Structure 1
């Protein structure tokens, strides 16, 4: 069987979020935040860079830590220990420049720092601190919120994008303006005077662009807002910019990719100009499939949470890179990817999240698969957004880890687990699930989410140790999903599954 790649496409003990994919030479590199397994907050680990040959996206490797938070002068082990979402660009001098922001626990302080820059001679080598992005006068550039930087070498012009936006204008009136100024100042780490001054020109928030000089750290132009920061701008409907700036240029069109205020989705806007007249395009991907074929928040496919990523083209195929949540937490996010299509009119239809991602097609019908590559994990009711309260966590199934094992836990009555897609070449299969827990019941095995196309039933009678349970299934040939709906009592964990044509059993 040929080597395959799943979602997530990196090892299950690796947690790269906020991914910026770039092709340099003959390799695809993924630059991103580095979460800790079962971490206590965002971005707890130093940067590593994963990459794969552009002709073999199944083979991802890394060369270890490329940059440490302690290298930044802003580092403070108590107040400012973490590096948030980065981006990398190749400068006109051939070197590679890393842009990022320092922040504390839960992002505290991240809105009040300048953007930091490091430099290296190779994309995944050892970066050295260069300095802060600064104004023409040589002071740290602090106009607007300097957060989630993105950068592009636009035919020799280095363009930096950044920013964040909250819905203050939705609630602002002449009666509460003063108190909102105080709240905004405290949240963003700025003075009330600065907030008042910025308000005269649309406020301190928004999606921002600035051109950098050849030294890669000095602003060559004045930073400017590239899209309206007002929720009264109907062109963006209810998909207003929140954070996670990313920029691409395709032919003569600029694509600004961002995380909307809905938080779970990556959206895009396009313009013929790099710094103005961006028009909302749509949603590219949601980590709960919300919006795909009319799916609502109430029946989302997973626990949703922050989303941040971008698009890239590899050998003529475009992909979107995004992240999913694990451990019922915002703090252990994993990189995933899906192929996308850019239509002749430049639009990008929303894609569904799958288990096969970069595999260039469905998964084989003959193999052993980790349970954790499921693209749907729900309790049959509404799943949470972000980290639920500790007392509520037992109500939700999730990908979890313990003692180097990665599995789905908290499976209870009506839990639904889905995998998209497999290519079934025969009709009869033996399916084995590796399970444990105190549970009595059965799994309905189907090729559709609603379990109307049943292809088998797997009885469950478990104790505390892992146990392989086998059932025969009969399905139509072709490309199909696999769904498991648990009906029964107790709770169980799911480690892996083995799918095998009965002719080979």
Structure 2
């Protein structure tokens, strides 16, 4: 079955059933712009965004599958024509099992990158294999399948996280490394580096807070290196950036673009990219779920540039690249952009994610909701073990308390409705729980009226 995203008009309150329907009917489910952009049940991290000449934006990333380890043995690709509707093509490349194209090992696949030269697409992959950490596969389609994986000789500098950038003059650059960035020109065949051009310490942890996951692009003659930045709280939760007038540098550290700290109680790292699409620039990053470092999901925010080329830091949101979420639509609880306490996003089924494990004084925050001309009630799909109170605020700490919902114990999912104080316009929404020290609630969705 083929779907045309431009011909489908979806109300958000119908999304949940549509997600489930599409998940079982087609291999490329369509979903509307909202963070995370990874669909329910799919965990795509380390998003590298690329715009090719077919009018689409592609997100290449690693695919998480377990709470016990990072990544998996396959790669999936997300792509869009309008930043509103997303498609996912699954298992475009694998290191074992179906579509195994890595003949020399069965190790998991870490963060990839991709590019196009002439009529060939190149997927650069990496693995936790000290003897063969990086490789390249090819395809005649941006969505694969990518085949014939082969090792890349890194001239003794064996690390991970490949990235590739093609400059305006056609020169291709290959970047990789942790703590100290390596860079070399690619040979014309795009499958091997020119070792005579190899340079180390392009950026470093000491001088630029570089942790891993570099991504190079160019804007108005200035080269931007975006990478996992360890400048805050001794954790690489930021995407930082440095700029130069030359691909090989020297680079000047410019600051943080986005920090995913607070997205999940087990959050550890960040990894992403920036890209321009239809005259708007975006930052792509990931947020952890499940209360662990793994099970990460790709997200996106709009960014801007000042006259000096700097990028003002942006916050994580639930709305992503779209407009504020209509408060009168059915809003997935899993679109919360900030979590405080024990609460985390978990998978209730293969096609549905929820907020779970709420304890006393836990908070889930949604940015931003559009209450329009006003609301008078809220409906919420919730399950409660011991009962408690769910407080709703707008724009805390400068807040207005919308309601205090008393939730009675109920082991089954139920839809409850409550009156709320009228709110209008655009606001952040805070859900705060009070009760005993046990796990209190699971929340699927809510909707104001």
Give the corresponding residue for 2:389. Answer: 442
Q: Partners in 2 of 1:62 and 1:366 — Cα distance?
A: 28
* Equivalent position to 1:492, from 434, 440, 444: 440
Q: Partners in 2 of 1:43 and 1:366 — Cα distance?
A: 36
Q: Partners in 2 of 1:468 and 1:440 — Cα distance?
A: 14
- Provide the secondary structure at the position in 1 that maps to 2:345: strand
Give the corresponding residue for 1:131. Answer: 150
1:59 paired with 2:111, answer: no
Indicate how the Cα distance of structure 1 residues 279 and 145 shifts in structure 2: closer, same or farther if over 3 A, else same: farther
- Provide the secondary structure at the position in 2 that maps to 1:372: helix
* Equivalent position to 1:224, from 187, 193, 199: 199
Q: CA deviation at 1:470?
A: 1.8
Q: CA deviation at 1:429?
A: 2.8
Q: CA deviation at 1:228?
A: 4.7
1:341 paired with 2:284, answer: no
Give the corresponding residue for 1:328. Answer: 291
Mapping 1:132-171, distance limit 5 Å? 132-133=151-152, 140-155=153-168, 156-165=170-179
Q: Partners in 1 of 2:205 and 2:374 — Cα distance?
A: 55
Indicate how the Cα distance of structure 1 residues 230 and 311 shifts in structure 2: closer, same or farther if over 3 A, else same: closer
Q: CA deviation at 1:162?
A: 0.5
Is this contact kept in 2: 1:445–1:451, CA < 8 A? no
Indicate how the Cα distance of structure 1 residues 124 and 223 shifts in structure 2: closer, same or farther if over 3 A, else same: same
Is this contact kept in 1: 2:67–2:290, CA < 8 A? no
1:208 paired with 2:182, answer: yes
Q: Partners in 1 of 2:431 and 2:402 — Cα distance?
A: 10
Q: CA deviation at 1:2?
A: 5.3
Q: Which has the higher helix share?
A: 1
Give the corresponding residue for 2:270. Answer: 307
Is this contact kept in 2: 1:336–1:357, CA < 8 A? yes
Give the corresponding residue for 1:276. Answer: 249
The structure whose Rg is larger is: 1
Q: Partners in 2 of 1:73 and 1:211 — Cα distance?
A: 26
* Equivalent position to 2:141, from 122, 129, 133: 122
1:400 paired with 2:400, answer: no
Indicate how the Cα distance of structure 1 residues 301 and 399 shifts in structure 2: closer, same or farther if over 3 A, else same: closer
Is this contact kept in 2: 1:40–1:331, CA < 8 A? yes
Q: Partners in 1 of 2:356 and 2:398 — Cα distance?
A: 21
Give the corresponding residue for 2:101. Answer: 71
TM-align CA RMSD: 1.9
1:5 paired with 2:33, answer: yes
Give the corresponding residue for 1:423. Answer: 370
Is this contact kept in 1: 2:46–2:271, CA < 8 A? yes
* Structure 2 unpaired stretches of 5+: 1-9, 13-31
Q: For residues 82-139 of structure 1, what are the alpha-carbon distances to aligned partners after superposition, in whole Å with 9 as ceiling and x for unaligned?
A: 1110000112x33111111122xxxxx4x55342000111110211125222xxxxxx
Is this contact kept in 2: 1:161–1:210, CA < 8 A? yes
Q: CA deviation at 1:376?
A: 1.4
Q: Partners in 1 of 2:214 and 2:156 — Cα distance?
A: 16
Higher mean C-alpha displacement, 62-71 vs 2-11: 2-11
- Provide the secondary structure at the position in 2 that maps to 1:349: coil
Q: Partners in 2 of 1:282 and 1:429 — Cα distance?
A: 43
Q: Partners in 1 of 2:160 and 2:327 — Cα distance?
A: 44
Q: CA deviation at 1:364?
A: 1.1
* Equivalent position to 1:14, from 31, 34, 42: 42
- Provide the secondary structure at the position in 2 that maps to 1:486: strand
Q: For residues 389-447 of structure 1, what are the alpha-carbon distances to aligned partners after superposition, in whole Å with 9 as ceiling and x for unaligned?
A: xxxxxxx2111123434211111110111111011112233211211122232122111
The TM-score normalised by the length of structure 1 is 0.77
Q: Partners in 2 of 1:346 and 1:144 — Cα distance?
A: 32
1:264 paired with 2:225, answer: no
Q: For residues 154-200 of structure 1, what are the alpha-carbon distances to aligned partners after superposition, in whole Å with 9 as ceiling and x for unaligned?
A: 121010010112xxxxxxxxxxxxxxxxxxxxxxxxxxxxxxxxxxx
Q: CA deviation at 1:222?
A: 2.9
Q: CA deviation at 1:484?
A: 0.9
* Equivalent position to 2:340, from 378, 393, 406: 378
Q: Partners in 1 of 2:191 and 2:33 — Cα distance?
A: 38
- Provide the secondary structure at the position in 2 that maps to 1:331: coil
Give the corresponding residue for 2:51. Answer: 23
Q: Partners in 2 of 1:473 and 1:45 — Cα distance?
A: 48
1:319 paired with 2:282, answer: yes
Is this contact kept in 2: 1:143–1:223, CA < 8 A? no
Q: Partners in 1 of 2:414 and 2:433 — Cα distance?
A: 16
Is this contact kept in 2: 1:444–1:451, CA < 8 A? no
Indicate how the Cα distance of structure 1 residues 88 and 64 shifts in structure 2: closer, same or farther if over 3 A, else same: same
Q: CA deviation at 1:63?
A: 3.2
Q: Partners in 2 of 1:342 and 1:348 — Cα distance?
A: 5
Higher mean C-alpha displacement, 251-260 vs 454-463: 454-463
